Structure 1
Amino acid sequence: MVDDLEYKYTGNRLNQVIESAMNDTGYEGGNNIIDYDANGNMTNMNDKNINSIGYNYLNLSHQFSISQKLLGWTYNTNISHLYRADGTKLRTTKYNAREGDIGKTTMIDYLDGFQYRYYDNGLIGGPVLLDKTSFAYEEQAYKSTQDALIPGSISWKLDFVPTAEGFYSFTENRYIYQYKDHLGNTRVSFAKNSAGVLEVTDTNNYYPFGLNHIGGIKGQLGSYKNYKYNGKELQETGMYDYGARVYMPDLGRWGVVDPLAEKMTRHSPYNYAFNNPLRFIDPDGREAKDIFKWDNLGKLTKVADSNTDVIYAENQFEKDGKTLKTDAKGVEVGEKGYVEANRQEISLSEKFTDRQGKSSNTLTTLSFYNNQEKATEVAEYMYSNGTNEFSNSTYTSSKGGFSVVSTLGLPSKTFVDPKQYMKNFNINGDSFYSSKLTSHDHNHPSNYLPSGYMFNMRDNKYIPRRSDVEGARGKMDYHNTIDPDFKDVKFRTYLKGKYMNYNSTTAYYD
């Protein structure tokens, strides 16, 4: 048996863990009391020899103090994190000193996926060869690796950068390829050695809540080998950094209250993935989410279950199409089940062809009732991340407003009025077929002007290009402005993060 743990609580706070299995490959044990601050943040973890944990104003852990005894020596370690104002981690600094030694300092800078490493052995006394914080990260569960001593003068060195398939290691001068499972867990890392022969550099198998089976590799501070469970970085403290919080895989809990706890009052603010990690994922430590992918063909499909619906564009996934990138950003749509209840995938009776000659007979829509702001947020996310045209059409009636984000999955065509193709147009039985289209936005992925317009240098403004609109085959954006069916509709095109309005006489930016 790996672990036989008894959790003792005060309210929803875990105050003590009693370990009866006495198996060091799991939770280390110690039966020590866990303390918390007024915000519910865990302030120590003496079972792991973590004497104190400090937090900033965002409740992000920014200071760890660790003391350990090994072979008759005492080792003192201080780990600090520097964050940007929005909570993005910029730097980790680790100072480790053996009793009687000056010690060494290692710093890691995180710059949009690029990791730089700085090493200082303290000059006097040389490097601390037994650089131990292993007690904190369950050393028996990992093969030990010595911190690589970076030769030469003290300086910053680019350590590694992420790639679509894994990492490129500058310290090893080679590409590292990784296989990940459907939850984003790194399972195997492999690369070619100096002889050109493929070798496995790291393997990982996990218990459901993320604790490694025996044999995984714990790399040096800042190593690519530390990106393991859910693709997150395993810290020297044995906790995974998810962004908003750090996670303890040996206990299956967070050490900090969920920043969005008020949205999920049925659950403990310390729970991980609603205590069901085989079904749910938690991308950033704030809340578990239903993951939907709106791909470049226009299909809106569910990738993973959770409590909140979030849409990610195709460019936010790894090449396998299932695993989110480490820095993936999505757009929250609503509570669990919202997308399933409000999307439609419609097979059209004919194929529609865009100006590039590509065709589609499938229309995908997502509807929003009296929530034009959310529809705009979703549309702008897809405008910025998709490779095809999306549109946002808003209707009004005596019952309120109704917005539809839609796509044909084509690079240069979308519908102005998707209502006429939709199977139903109602909310809770209230029909909106009698509503009137009042505004329509769409994007141009190639960032060209609304079709049918040009810039007139003489008048210093955009005007219809008569030679184009009069001889055009098929409708241009300009033609919609003179269509009687779209009288009084406000038209806009989304270009490079800005909206360009257009009507029958001119086009102009907001």
Structure 2
Amino acid sequence: MCETDTYNRQSNLTSLRRNGRTGASSYGLIDDLTLTLDGNWLTRVDDAVTASAYNDGFEFKDAVKQDNEYTYDKNGNMTKDLNKNITDIQYNCLNSPSKVTFQDGSTITYTYAVNGTKLRTVHTIGNTTSTTDYCGNVIYENGVQKLLLTDAGHVTLSDKKYHYYLQDHQGNNRVVVDQTGQKEEVNHYYPFGGTFASAEKSIQPYKYNGKELDTKNGLNWYDYGARQYDVAIGRWNAVDPSSEKHYNWSPYSYCKNNPVLRVDVDGKDDYTVNSAGRLFKTVVEGSTNDRLMSIRSGVESITVNDKKILSGMYNMQDGKSGGLETYNSTSSLEDAAAVFKFGADNTSVEWKLDIYNDKGDKTAIIGTSGREDSVFADKQSELNVKGDKVIDMHSHPYNAQASDQDMKNLKIKTGTVYHRDSKVLFFYNSENSRIGNNEYKIDTSKTLLDKLNDKFMK
């Protein structure tokens, strides 16, 4: 199984050869694509392979042979894809698709919140209409609760059974198992996200990068939030909202044509953290600040003004620490608190935030060891941070009290734990794993920093 790709000077794919399953026990070429472009706009795709993939497996469907198989509006949004039998795509003011119309009269319509979050999808395929509603992490089908999405997978609400996702380093859902550990679904991916032919059936739509795949009526789009992605040709259906920051790349290319190294969580750019605390960089040239996102859907990103924090942590994890432990220092306590809380809230590992005071100049150390039950104790000497430690804080994803090791490692009078599940800040010392008074509910990183300042830095 392999892909071979070529590109033009604008970084657009111009050819793609893909091997795959051609029979019950045979493999060979399933796609030999030539992509014709007008500037960055795709106008035509031709497949030199006439045979189909085995058992209707993943491949490009070359439905027509003509010029202008694809068209775009003045904003750069694709409005027609004749190879999918799509005759019209309408968009809202956010350049998100609002209605897709097929040649046979079938339609798919979308409803969004004012911030662009998808709330509803209605499929009218032939004479059948189905409605999917997205209410936070609960998915409704035709008005009935169907799935509860969790950090680890999902719950089928009809029988209240848990299903767990086993993911790779990019957040791709590779294996789905039930609550007894029995395998239910297996996915293997081509570099740009297509799935290998598999004997296992598909039981849920969240696959490549953990994103929702819509296969109805041959649409085969992944929903990344800001844009829709077509894995068969490795292109977005709309321009990158941040394309002015890196104009030397095609605004339609996925992950700057390096999907093995990078992930793109919402069709935009910057840094992404997965559930294990590993950072991914999705853009090379950035703006005056950085953005930190979660690999989970529906999580609002944060802005990090000190651009050295995330870049230093990203570079460290690919160096001597082997991708497990990563940390950095900053004089911006606001950024440190924001990164700490975002990491603690959106991963399943512990995070660390220590603050040092050197004659009034304060420096924070922020990071994670990529473990659920422990985190590094002290990196002051390694990062050459001066001053006395005034705050020793770490997060707990699960345990609602300090561990024996936490109490043993504590070098100042009082330590602090942020408990992820309850979003409560509590304190401990060398003798008590949770001091009963002065516990605080923490909703924002500003609240977190204010409480720490009131207790330790006034």
Give the alignment's TM-score, normalised by structure 1.
0.58
Q: Indicate how the Cα distance of structure 1 residues 276 and 36 shifts in structure 2: closer, same or farther if over 3 A, else same.
A: same
Q: Indicate how the Cα distance of structure 1 residues 8 and 117 shifts in structure 2: closer, same or farther if over 3 A, else same.
A: same
1:226 is the counterpart of 2:205: yes
The answer as to whether partners of 1:41 and 1:256 remain within 8 angstroms in 2 is: yes
Q: Counterparts of 2:281 and 2:151 in 1: how far apart (Å)?
A: 24
Encode CA deviations 1:233-273: one digit per residue, 9 max, x unaligned.
Answer: 11131111111111101001111111222333332111112
Structure 1's unaligned 5+ residue stretches are 69-75, 98-102, 119-155, 296-301, 317-323, 346-362, 426-431, 449-472, 478-492
Partner of 2:353: 390
- Identity across the alignment (%): 27
Partner of 2:32: 4
Report deviation, 1:189. Answer: 3.6
Q: CA RMSD in A?
A: 4.8
The answer as to whether partners of 2:389 and 2:412 remain within 8 angstroms in 1 is: no
The answer as to whether partners of 1:441 and 1:494 remain within 8 angstroms in 2 is: no
Q: How does 1:19-418 map to 2 (within 5 A)?
A: 19-25=47-53, 26-29=59-62, 30-32=64-66, 33=68, 34-68=70-104, 76-97=105-126, 103-118=127-142, 156-163=143-150, 165-171=152-158, 174-191=161-178, 201-215=184-198, 224-235=203-214, 236=216, 237-287=219-269, 289=271, 291=273, 302=278, 304=280, 306-307=282-283, 324-327=295-298, 334=307, 337-339=311-313, 365-368=327-330, 373-382=334-343, 390-392=353-355, 404-405=365-366
The answer as to whether partners of 2:354 and 2:364 remain within 8 angstroms in 1 is: no
The answer as to whether partners of 2:32 and 2:49 remain within 8 angstroms in 1 is: yes
User: What is the aligned residue count?
Assistant: 368
Q: Counterparts of 1:279 and 1:243 in 2: how far apart (Å)?
A: 21
1:475 is the counterpart of 2:437: no
Encode CA deviations 1:200-224: one digit per residue, 9 max, x unaligned.
Answer: 54443332212223357786xxxx5
Corresponding letter in the other structure for 2:336:
A
Q: Indicate how the Cα distance of structure 1 residues 327 and 23 shifts in structure 2: closer, same or farther if over 3 A, else same.
A: farther
Give the alignment's TM-score, normalised by structure 2.
0.64
The answer as to whether partners of 2:273 and 2:343 remain within 8 angstroms in 1 is: no
Q: Indicate how the Cα distance of structure 1 residues 215 and 440 shifts in structure 2: closer, same or farther if over 3 A, else same.
A: closer
Corresponding letter in the other structure for 1:240:
Y
Corresponding letter in the other structure for 1:244:
A
Corresponding letter in the other structure for 2:283:
N
Q: Counterparts of 1:389 and 1:45 in 2: how far apart (Å)?
A: 49
Encode CA deviations 1:140-171: one digit per residue, 9 max, x unaligned.
Answer: xxxxxxxxxxxxxxxx2112223455333245
Q: Counterparts of 2:315 and 2:280 in 1: how far apart (Å)?
A: 16
Q: Counterparts of 1:110 and 1:166 in 2: how far apart (Å)?
A: 16
Encode CA deviations 1:404-433: one digit per residue, 9 max, x unaligned.
Answer: 447899999999xx89x33454xxxxxx96
Corresponding letter in the other structure for 2:195:
N
Corresponding letter in the other structure for 2:193:
G
Q: Counterparts of 1:200 and 1:441 in 2: how far apart (Å)?
A: 42
1:422 is the counterpart of 2:451: no
Q: Counterparts of 1:396 and 1:263 in 2: how far apart (Å)?
A: 40
Partner of 1:140: none
Report deviation, 1:441. Answer: 9.7
Corresponding letter in the other structure for 1:496:
I
Corresponding letter in the other structure for 2:32:
D
Corresponding letter in the other structure for 1:378:
V
Q: Counterparts of 2:190 and 2:151 in 1: how far apart (Å)?
A: 26
Report deviation, 1:184. Answer: 2.7
1:496 is the counterpart of 2:438: no
Q: Secondary structure at the match of 2:244?
A: helix
Q: Counterparts of 1:342 and 1:182 in 2: how far apart (Å)?
A: 16
